[in-house]
Amino acid sequence: MSCRHRRKKSASSRSSKSESGNSSLTDEMADSHFIGPKYDVKVSKVMGRYIVARKDIHPGEVIITEQPLVVGPCTDCKVQCLGCYRDLENEQYIYRCPGCGWPLCSKKCPGRKRQHGHTQIECTILQECKSALYLNYNDLKSMRLNFQVIVPLRCLILKTTDPSSYAILMDMESHNDIRRNIPELWNLNQTRVVDRIIKDWGLTEFTEDEIHTICGILEVNAFEIGQDINIRGLYPTSFLLSHDCVPNTNHTDQEGTYQLTIRASTNILESQPITLSYAYTLQSTQKRREQLLENKFFECRCRRCSDPTELETYIGALICPKCDNGLVLCNNPLDFKSAWNCVNSTKSCPGYSLSAQSHKLLMNRITNEVDQIDNNDIESLEHFLHKYRNVLHPNHYLCLGVKVTLSQVYGRINGYLIHQLKEKQLIRKREICSEILKVFDVIEPGFTRIRGVTLYEIHAPLMILFTRQMETQSLNKADIKMALKKILRYLAEAKVILSYEPEYSAEGLMGIAARDALLQIKDWEKIVGRIR
Ligand SMILES: C[S@@+](CC[C@H](N)C(=O)[O-])C[C@H]1O[C@@H](n2cnc3c(N)ncnc32)[C@H](O)[C@@H]1O
């Protein structure tokens, strides 16, 4: 339901305080304080079912861990292995399952004949209905479309193989009443999924309505999961988490088993809703609300969406072209048609207004421009920020995306490796990390991936600047201690946050590096302590 953050592809995280309170950074925080479910299920007229904390829950605490009901390729997936989901589009030769003829990575695929992979029953059904006749290996686009049918088919298979799981799944919200009235969406499901199953493959034991309902259930409830693979999964309890544009949980899934773990990222008080963001949090209110309406079929009215300043982060704000320091904000963010106006409090602005339509066109134009920039092209990314410094607020989501990328590529790419960076570039990396952390503290507070990564990223320039200073200047003991303490603080929090990430993931590896760097700096601290 939510996605990993960064401009285009990539990872992310963020820093502490705000809602996460003053809790000390110890692993014990993740301990469970009570047995049994940590939530109660409630129902509201607006949201339907949602869950609330049964008792106070602390940052890092596990709220739900569960196995999926069903897993498989995303709707917009590439041609992939039906067992382990490895991308096969760049393979010279694609191995085909000897049973059904669908693509597999190899004879020894770890997901072959496994639950949540290519099961024997799926293979038999795909074989008996001669589905491989529709796989045109010379036409990638039409080939990809076939994969859209796999997860709905796996849901339908549960009806006979695991009726209790099927019942849980069918109890999920499908929003059929709304989706039926969106012809583009309904017709697409009809031709790509329903007709393929019933007409092409001849699986007439399923009704059209049943298949449409499953398509809706997947659209509304599926989690995007997997590291470096494009898959989705339905989970028996986690689907109950309601949406908030400032979520209070984070989730990870385990490689191979696809077990999902939902953890608190901030303190969640008893009876407070337990939430996640179904939309990309590093976007403006207009973008998130459009995305939620289009994909999840509701209009978000959360605290962040209702506030034109987006909780004083100014993620959607423009700079007024008519006055010196005015900001242009949406008059009513809960109205898609609302105009944007300069809100200069000094009244020195002659007045500036932008219609919703013009605002959208402007954003689309700048988005197209930023999308052309390569993630490793530091000069062009910096040029973009400079070019739009008088148009977009420094926290504007388009700038924020560029800054998140810069925070991760300064120090990492050829010509810009951390030890190659000049003092000015190290300071730049530090500043960017510090700026984005302030925004994450508000919109993705607490123990979140984007904060963990950025806290790790900021430690590197601080450390190099400090060691260079040590080499060239005579620092006194108090200065050294203060510098080390600051770096330790960032690393300690990064270590805790990133320890929740799967070990094999980029973020998990970063967590291990943070732990090692922390030990090294603690040693230094001890040595400095002994200096008189
Ligand atoms: C994944 S389901 C959550 C479970 C669902 N409420 C149920 O009863 O099955 C997502 C749906 O819940 C509702 N929902 C979740 N968060 C909401 C929110 N903040 N405001 C309004 N509706 C929300 C919307 O109908 C959305 O499409």
pLDDT per residue over 376-431, tens digit each?
999 999 999 999 999 999 999 999 999 999 999 999 999 999 999 999 999 999 99
pLDDT of residue 522: 86
Residue nearest ligand 1's atom 14 by CA: 47
Same-domain status, 161 and 173 = yes
**Would 224 be classed as within a structural domain?**
yes
Task: Give the residue whose CA is nearest to atom 3 of ligand 1.
Answer: 240
Ligand 1 atom nearest to 171, measured from its CA: 9
Q: Please indicate whether residue 42, judged by its CB atom, sits closer than 6 Å to ligand 1.
A: no
227 shares a domain with 109: yes
How far is 483 from 488, CA to CA, in rounded Å?
Answer: 9
pLDDT digits (tens, 9 = 90+) for 135-147: 998 888 899 999 9
Phi, psi at 133, each rounded to 5°: -65, -25
Ligand 1 pocket, mutate which of 52, 220, 294, 305 (most atoms under 8 A from CB): 220
Q: Are 203 and 146 found together in one domain?
A: yes
Mean pLDDT of 92-113: 95
pLDDT tens-place string over residues 354-368:
999 999 999 999 999
- Total of domains in the chain: 2
In terms of domains, do 61 and 48 share one?
A: yes
Give the closest residue to 123 by CA, choosing from 152, 153, 146, 155.
153
pLDDT for position 424: 97
Q: How far, in Å, is the centroid of ligand 1 from the Cα of 297?
A: 9
**ipTM of model over 0.95:** yes
Q: Please tell me whether residues 78 and 226 are part of one structural domain.
A: yes
Amino acid of residue 211: I
Measured from the CB, is residue 304 less than 6 Å from ligand 1? no
Q: How far apart are the first and last CA of the chain?
A: 56
Residue scoring higher pLDDT (521 or 274) = 274
Instruction: Give the per-residue pLDDT at 473.
Output: 80
Task: Give the position, in ligand 1's atom list, of the atom nearest the Cα of 296.
Answer: 27
Q: Is residue 471 situated within a structural domain?
A: no
Q: Is 165 inside a domain boundary?
A: yes
Mutation probe of ligand 1 site: the residue of 242, 251, 285, 301 with most atoms within 8 A of C-beta: 242
pLDDT at 6 over 50: no
104 in the same domain as 38: no
Confidence of residue 31 (pLDDT cuts 50, 70, 90): very low
Do 123 and 219 belong to one domain?
yes
Specify the pTM: 0.91
Residues 94 and 166 occupy one common structural domain? yes
108 has a pLDDT exceeding 90: yes
Domain that holds residue 28: 18-67+240-276
pLDDT at 1: 44
Q: Are residues 223 and 77 in the same domain?
A: yes
Tokens 């940590």 -> residue: 38
In whole angstroms, give the CA distance from residue 483 to residue 471: 14
Query: For residue 423, how far is its CA from the centre of ligand 1 (angstroms)?
Result: 49
Residue appearing with tokens 């990064």: 494
pLDDT at 36: 64
**Average pLDDT over all residues of the chain:** 91
Per-residue pLDDT at 474: 75
Same domain, 192 and 144: yes
Residue 63's pLDDT is: 97
| Atom number, ligand 1, closest to the C-alpha of residue 297 | 27
Q: Does some domain include residue 498?
A: no
Residue 30 in any domain: the answer is yes
**Do residue 58 and residue 128 come from a single domain?**
no
Any idea what the CATH number is for the domain that residue 38 is in?
Answer: 2.170.270.10
